[in-house]
Amino acid sequence: MNATTSSPRTTPRQRVPFYRQLYVHVLAAILIGVLLGHFAPTLAVQMKPLGDAFIKLVKMVIGPIIFCTVVTGIAGMGDMKKVGRVGGKALLYFEVVSTLSLVIGLLAGHLLRPGAGFNLDPSKIDASALSGYATQAHEQSTVEFLMHIIPNTVVDAFVTGNVLQILLISVLFGASLAAFGERGKPLVEFIGGIANVFFGIVHIIMKTAAIGAFGAIAYTIGTYGVGSVLPLLKLIGSFYLTLFVFVVVVLGGIGRVMGFNIFRFMSYIREELLIVLGTSSSEAALPGMLAKLERLGCSKPVVGLVVPAGYSFNLDGTNIYLTMAVLFIAQAFNIQLTFTQEMTLVIVAMLTSKGASGVAGAAFIMLTSTLLVFPVIPVSGMVLILGIHRFMGTGLAIVNTIGNGVATLVVSAWERELDRDKLDAAMKNHIVV
């Protein structure tokens, strides 16, 4: 790499005033949105299109960015054995950490017992509000999910925006292009140029992040209100405490072994985390995460493979949500689960957590799927969580985003393709990010 391209990453630059930084704008927008939602809920609900529009803008560019990033990465890598090795290592890491997060959710549910004391009767619960979620959950079996990875047409994958379908096409296209060798280089360079254009579009879109965060959070508070949180405050508190412990102990421990500090890493991706906080959507942070992880020193092929795949296979926050929510409902109905049943729950949740990717309200549909496959606990108990799901969904989306970033760093280091100089410089704030 020449001096012209490398100098912005290594040379200290004048720090941007705090009031012009994106994370400050998003924080201010979230605060204003909360206040509007609390004091003028009717007006706040009308702000919903602002949040929806921002998320749609981001989703608009996710498909092309994933395609360009994966294709140029694989074609540049050349060795298809290496592609398979990276994918295998990523899946192994995903399954180990996912299982750990499911077990931690179970342990936290037993230790904190958020559902104790409700003493509810399943027959007195009105489950009519769950009909739509149950229908979607029935449509998402494991076999159907695996078949759904294959799109009907190449264009259809980009039209629907299904991340796994786009990833499959990108891997096949990149592998085919790699086989051309030197003859394929002009096309690789062209696709790389297209990627730069789309990242430029993302830079423009991110200027509206504060507006999107304001609209989304104002709608959430205006619709559900702070009062809807109070009866289930113990569950929300227990859930966020468990997420915090998981990030600090598990992801922090992994980071320590890999040679980076989890809090410095979270500071590095603070803009992306605040966007997720405001929109409750981890997808809104995907383009930014792709770019930042490359600047952090991860190799482009690893970033292109691990991050998109992680959005379906590495859902640490969602896994904690699933097991804690199931235990909460069981405790609310005074249902005692045996050890065998709980281990069965972990296995079922491991499968169902892969079955609703790309679906709106995916975590809630995953929970519905889990209870439908695991009939010991009545599905009607999900009514208890319906009103506060959005508040819990924000936390799990943030942890999913952090977890995917850590996974990318781990696989890059595992492949010996992590630039430690860039990593150290970014973590010590020697570069402007």
Q: What is the DSSP string of 350-386?
A: HHHTTTTTTSTTHHHHHHHHHHHHSTTS-GGGGHHHH
The mean pLDDT value for 20-43 works out to 83
Residue 80's pLDDT is 67
Residue 248 has pLDDT above 90, yes or no: yes
Quick: pLDDT tens for 76-99.
Answer: 666 667 777 887 888 899 989 999
Residue 125's pLDDT is 55
Residue 48's pLDDT is 85
SS3 298: strand
Domains of the chain, CATH where assigned: 18-427 (1.10.3860.10)
Share of the chain above pLDDT 90, in %: 15
Residue 172's pLDDT is 87
Determine the Cα–Cα distance for residues 341 and 139; give it in Å rounded to an integer: 24
The CA-to-CA distance between both ends of the chain, in Å, stands at: 19
**Rounded-to-10 torsion of CA 51, 52, 55, 58:** -110
Residue 217's pLDDT is 82
Residue 379 has pLDDT above 80, yes or no: no
Q: Give the Cα-Cα-Cα angle 266, 271, 274 (nearest 5 degrees).
A: 85
Quick: pLDDT tens for 116-151.
Answer: 877 766 665 555 545 554 455 454 555 666 677 788
* Residue 357 vs residue 386, higher pLDDT: 386
pLDDT range class, residue 210, cuts 50, 70, 90: confident
Determine the Cα–Cα distance for residues 342 and 103; give it in Å rounded to an integer: 9
